[in-house]
Structure 1
């Protein structure tokens, strides 16, 4: 749902647009309907529960630029077209696949200061669930229905967390890599990230104090 301020004529352009449902990317129609100089506030959401909220200003060339706001948000996603699975396949305790030690527990995704950053490294359509094993240990399951990859990250009572994967990819590897980068960048806050949106490409960028820039392309329809 979008609340707009401006003319109510069909096809009219608007000075202000506030979305009250989250999207993976700013829809091209919203960009088109925002008048140059107008402002859009849009919750952007991927696989994780929390959304990032972008505040964008429309430029004369049709691009919208702005920043991610500080506070996380939890808006219902806007749904269009056929939907895929809503839950990963059941993975029983004692799953018999090769295991490896994990660098970090799945609990790192409970930290909203990191989960925002992790979201930028997760592919479109990735599903995530978390809970506890029969022994009361934290467990996170990731599932990509595109290629059937399933990865389970389970805390251990006697050592580092364990990663178990089935399918062509280890889905936890990009998150661990993101965690290393996040720490190297001294845990950048979400309001330090900029966003640029065109009808075809939408990019989130962080520029470190030393001038090193890191960019991620938002995925989705």
Structure 2
């Protein structure tokens, strides 16, 4: 029994045949990869700020990497906490100017798409969502790295509206990513492979035309 931070407080001589996490992480902690024996299995829930939780099952290889696939089952595990997290407040966004959106923020409720979208967005991205006074869906994206903030708000009997402040409209790349997701035949969770090495972690998808698409976690 170890009482401590599960991502860091592991005895230096510990080696494991199985590592099964019941809290989600953005990437596989390097220490877990290091302490898993060759041939051992890691089962790790992966989750970013856009929701889209997935479970990865990886096998440790002799070269120190681990490879596997994303499982079909979605994951709703709470994030692994280190005790040093600081909640990032999302700033208010002025009501104008605004543009029509090609997508409602509700598209991120689809965990298959939101995981795919997470692969294309900054790691620092913060998402909040809720309902307007009219009971309509509102999603806000905020990147504290450059202060960009974007609100996507459903309208009654009209296309959603996007209002942005800061240097970037954060919903524009989301619309582009959704088009790519559709062109790739709306890839399901279990169609993605995953590889974790001491240097980098990537997710890959092989399209029907044989082209391999790869993203860094």
Q: TM-score, normalised by structure 2?
A: 0.90
Which 10-residue stretch deviates more, 20-29 or 116-125? 116-125
Distance in 2 between residues matched to 1:160 and 1:30, nearest whole Å: 46
SS of equivalent residue, structure 1 residue 26: coil
Shift of 1:96: 3.2
Shift of 1:69: 0.6
Shift of 1:87: 4.2
The residue that corresponds to 1:104 in the other structure is 103
Distance in 2 between residues matched to 1:154 and 1:101, nearest whole Å: 10
Q: What's the CA shift string for 1:173-206, capped at 9, x where partnerless? A: 2211111011111111110100000122000000
Shift of 1:126: 1.2
What 5-or-longer segments of structure 1 have no aligned partner? 3-7
Q: What's the CA shift string for 1:135-181, capped at 9, x where partnerless? A: 22211111111211110001122421111100011111221111101
- The alignment status of 1:56 with 2:58, answered yes or no, reads yes
Q: What's the CA shift string for 1:22-64, capped at 9, x where partnerless? A: 1111111111100111110011111023411100001100010
Greater than 6 Å deviation, 4+ residue runs: none
Shift of 1:83: 2.4
The residue that corresponds to 1:73 in the other structure is 75
Judged with a 3 Å threshold, the aligned counterparts in structure 2 of structure 1 residues 81 and 174 are, in CA distance, closer, same or farther, namely: farther
Shift of 1:111: 1.5
Q: How many residues align?
A: 211
The residue that corresponds to 1:209 in the other structure is 208
What 5-or-longer segments of structure 2 have no aligned partner? none
The match for 1:17 among 5, 14, 19 is 19
Q: What's the CA shift string for 1:122-142, capped at 9, x where partnerless? A: 211211111122222211111
Structure 2 matches for 1:152-167, cutoff 5 A? Answer: 152-167=151-166
Shift of 1:215: 1.0
Distance in 1 between residues matched to 2:84 and 2:148, nearest whole Å: 21
What is the alpha-carbon root mean square deviation over aligned residues?
Answer: 2.0
Q: TM-score, normalised by structure 1?
A: 0.88
The residue that corresponds to 1:5 in the other structure is none
